[in-house]
Amino acid sequence: MRSKTGFVQLQSAALIVLLAGIAAAGAISPELVVDTYMDAEEEEETFADEEILWATSEDGDPVRITFLVFREMIMLAEQIESGELRMYVAEVDSPGEVTLYFYDMAVLETETWADLPSYDEEPLATIEIEE
């Protein structure tokens, strides 16, 4: 009798592990909670209320940096093996590349260029922007 109960418990534990494995392999769609950019030329301004987010560089140095903050991504970041981020370009001043970096802390809507946080030096991806 004892071994039968142990087997049922083992089956239950195996099922929980299997279900956890299936859940971990699933797709998630975290909620975007903050989208803002910071501008080197207007270093005391905040741009969280803007409709268009700008990412710009001059001579290879960033002068406008966009931050996207997703709910609960700090906890999940280490568990993500791959992902997809869709970006739509509304306006192009000049074609070039946009480089994506990972930043594992929250960015507030009130932050400015003067508060610019440090992000990973290793880029996640580079996107070619054409006219």
Residue-level pLDDT at 108: 84
The domain of 123 spans 32-129
Residue-level pLDDT at 41: 95
pLDDT at 72 over 70: no
pTM of the entire predicted model: 0.67
Locate 108 and state its tokens: 């507030």
Domain count, the chain: 1
In a domain, 14, yes or no: no
Q: What is the DSSP letter of 118?
A: P
Query: Please, where are the H alpha helices in 1-131?
Result: 2-24, 73-76
In a domain, 5, yes or no: no
Query: Which H helix or E strand runs over 34?
Result: strand 32-39
Query: Which residues are bridge partners to 46 per DSSP?
Result: none
Residue in this structure with the two tokens 């003067």, named with its chain if needed? 114
pLDDT at 35 over 80: yes
In a domain, 10, yes or no: no
- Asked if residue 45 lies in contact with residue 112, where contact means CB atoms within 8 angstroms, the answer is yes
Residue 59's pLDDT band (boundaries 50, 70, 90)? confident
β-strand pairing of 61-70 with 32-39: antiparallel
